[in-house]
Structure 1
Amino acid sequence: MSLSPQDNAALSLRRQAEEGAALPALLIAAEHLAATVQMGGHGRRRAGPGEEFWQYRPAHSGDAARFVDWRRSARSDAQFVRDREWQLAQSLHLWVDDAASMRFSGAPSGRHARPTKAGRAQVLALALAVLAIRAGERVGLTGPLAPPRPGRAQLVTLASVLASDAGATDYGAPEVTGIAAQARAVFLSDFFGDLGAIERALGALADRGVSGVMVQVLDPAEEDFPFDGRTIFESMAGGLRHETREAGDLRARYVARLAERRARLADLALKAGWQFSTHHTGAPAQAALLWLHGALERGAR
C-alpha cells in the first residue's frame, strides 16, 4: 500500500520524535508555557469506565457485586465501590488563523519587541495541545493536515504544521472541516475577516454539538491606535491601502468600530454556546493560557 505525501511527512515527524530528534523551537516554547499552568483534566474527572482509581463511594442499589471493594467495606458497616475516572478520550480541534494580518507586530524589533499575533496564537495553541495530550486527549488542527491523535509525537506534527503555515490572503476565515460531532474546538485569530464566515462556521458547529472557545489575538497598537499626522495604512498582504494626513482624526471612529466588532464576536460566541475573550500580545501569554484552560474545563462540565 502506498502512502500519500502527507502520510509520509507525518510518519517522518513521528520517527524523529521517537528517536529523540531536536524539537522545533515552537514546541519548546509551548512546553515551557504549558509548565506554568497546573495540569487539569478539562472536566474529565468523573466516574466512568477507566483504569485509574478516583474515589470510594457508598454502594447503591443496582451496583454489581464485582465493583464492591470488599477490603475497604470490611473496615465499616457499609459497602463501598471503587469509582474509576472516566477515560473516554476527547477530541480537541485547533484553528490558528494563518492569514497575513496575523503576521503584524506593532513593535517588530529592538528592546521592546513583541511577538507577531501569529507567533503568540501558535504558541498558545500548542501549549494547550501539550496540556490536553498529557490529560489523555486527542488533539489536532482543523482541516486535513493534522487530524486529532494522542501522544507526544502528535505535538511534533502540530508544531511543524503551525510553524510552516503562512497564508497569502489578508484576513482568514475559520476552517471547520474534520471537526467531529460533540468535539471541542479552539479558534485563535484577530477575527478581522468577514463576520458572516465566522457566523456560518459557528452555526454549523453548534448544530453538530461542538463546544468551543474563541480568542481574539490583537497587538496593542491595534487596540490603542497610536497614530497621528500623515500616515499610510497598508494591509499585510498589500490588498488594502489608505493614506491620511490626519491619522489622529480617525482614532475615535476606529476605536468605536473595533468595540462594535468585539461585541458582535462575543454575541456570536454566546449564541453558539461558546466562550470569547481578547488577548493582547503585549500581555503575558500565561494569562491567556490559564483562561483558555479554564474555559475548556468549564465547557466540559
Structure 2
Amino acid sequence: MAAPLLDRQILERLERLTIRWQQSFRGLVGGHNISRYAGPGQEFLDHRNFHQGDDLRAVNWRAFMRLEKLFLKMFQVEPRTPIRLLLDSSSSMTASPEPGAGSKFDYARKLAAALTYVGLVRHDSILLQPFHEKLDDSHLASGGRHRFGPVNDFLSALEPGGRTSYFEMVRQFISAYQKPGLLILVSDFLDDGEVLKPLQYLADFGHELMLVQVWTDSDRSPNLKGDVTLTDAESGGSLEISLDEATCQAYTEEFDRYAGAIENLALRSGGRYAGFSTSVPLEEAIFSALNQAGADLQRAPRSA
C-alpha cells in the first residue's frame, strides 16, 4: 500500500463537506445534490404533511399511532449525476517551486484525493481520469469512505509525463463520456495549443465545469534576471531570452489575463473556477481558497 496522500486530520475535516453541482441534468436524478421524495431512500431528511394522492407506503405509521396525524417520510435521492475528475498528468506538471520540493502534480493529486474522499463520504461515485495529450487509464471510486485506499494507491502510482493537447484530450473525452455531468478539471492549463476552445466544447456538450488551476510562484512571477535559457518541460525546446524587471512584470500581467480568461469561461458557461499557487498550504486550498473562489465545496447537511 502506498503512503497516504492525506493525513488523518485532513480526512476528518473533509467528512464535513460535500461536493455540489448547479445544473439539473436531463434524464438524471440529482441537480443541486439534494432532491427530496417520499418513499425508500438512502438518507432520511424530514417529514411533511400527508396530502391526498400521496403514496401510503411512505407514511410514518409510528408517528400516526402517537399523534393521529399522517406524515410522509422524506428521503434524499441518491444522485446519479456522473462526477468525473480530469487530472493533468503532463510533463508541465512536474515543475516544483524549488529543488526537492513537491511538484505541481504532487499538489494536484492531493487536491484530487481530497475531492474524491469528499465524494466517497457522501456515497457519490467519482471517475478519476488522468490525461496528457490523451486519456490515460482511469479509476472509478465508489462504495463509501472505506474504498479510499484504492484511490490513494491509484493516485500515488501515477507518473507525470508527455505533452499536453487539450484539443485531442477533449475529443477523446467527449467520445468516451457522452452522458453530461459534473466535470472537475485540475490542471495548470498550460498548452502550446488552444485551451479555451476545447474547454468551451466541454461546456457546449452539457458538462458543468469546475476548473481548478494550480501553478508555482515561478510560473506566474519568474524570479530571473539577465540572459537566460528557458527549456520547455514537454517539448524539450529551448528559448534564449533577456529578462529584466519590466519584462517579468509584463509576463505576470499576461499570466493573470490568461487565468482570468479561464475563469470567465467557467463562469460564463455556468461553472466555477478556483486558481492558486502551490505555495498555498493544502488545507487552506481545500477549506478556504476553493470556497472563496466559488468552487462551492460546502458543508454537508446534517442527517436527521
State the TM-score bracket (shorter-chain normalisation). 0.7 to 0.9
TM-score, structure 1 as length reference: 0.77
Structure 1 residues not aligned, in runs of 5+ = 1-21
* Aligned residue in 2 for 1:214: 211
| CA positional deviation for 1:217 | 0.3
The 8 Å contact of residues 117 and 148 in structure 2, kept in 1 or not, is answered as no
Distance of aligned partners of 1:217 and 1:41 in 2 relative to their CA distance in 1, 3 Å threshold? closer
Distance of aligned partners of 1:255 and 1:138 in 2 relative to their CA distance in 1, 3 Å threshold? same
Structure 2 residues not aligned, in runs of 5+ = 21-32, 130-134, 299-304
1:88 equivalent to 2:85? Answer: no
1:164 equivalent to 2:153? Answer: no
Percent identity, aligned pairs only? 21
Secondary structure in 2 aligned to 1:243?
strand
Deviation sequence 1:138-169 (CA, Å, 0-9, x none): 11123462253413547525642563232222
* Aligned residue in 1 for 2:200: 202
Distance of aligned partners of 1:265 and 1:289 in 2 relative to their CA distance in 1, 3 Å threshold? same
Corresponding letter in the other structure for 1:46: S
* Aligned residue in 2 for 1:63: 54
| CA positional deviation for 1:63 | 1.1
The 8 Å contact of residues 15 and 118 in structure 2, kept in 1 or not, is answered as no
Corresponding letter in the other structure for 1:100: S
Deviation sequence 1:99-123 (CA, Å, 0-9, x none): 11111112123xxx4x211110011
More helix per residue: 1 or 2?
A: 1
Summarize the alignment of residues 82-121 of structure 1 with structure 2, pairs less than 5 Å apart: 82-109=73-100, 113=101, 115-121=102-108
* C-alpha RMSD of the superposition: 2.8
Corresponding letter in the other structure for 1:59: F
TM-score, structure 2 as length reference: 0.77
* Aligned residue in 1 for 2:30: none
Q: 1:233 aligns with which of 230, 233, 252?
A: 230
d(CA) in 2 for partners of 1:104, 1:188: 15
1:187 equivalent to 2:185? Answer: yes
* Aligned residue in 1 for 2:28: none
* Aligned residue in 2 for 1:145: 137
* Range 221-230 or range 142-151, more displaced: 142-151
* Aligned residue in 2 for 1:46: 35
The 8 Å contact of residues 211 and 274 in structure 2, kept in 1 or not, is answered as yes
* Aligned residue in 2 for 1:264: 261
Distance of aligned partners of 1:237 and 1:297 in 2 relative to their CA distance in 1, 3 Å threshold? closer
Summarize the alignment of residues 282-297 of structure 1 with structure 2, pairs less than 5 Å apart: 282-290=279-287, 292=290, 295=295
Deviation sequence 1:24-58 (CA, Å, 0-9, x none): 22x44276543333433435343135133221122
The 8 Å contact of residues 36 and 74 in structure 2, kept in 1 or not, is answered as yes
The 8 Å contact of residues 113 and 155 in structure 2, kept in 1 or not, is answered as no
More strand per residue: 1 or 2?
A: 2
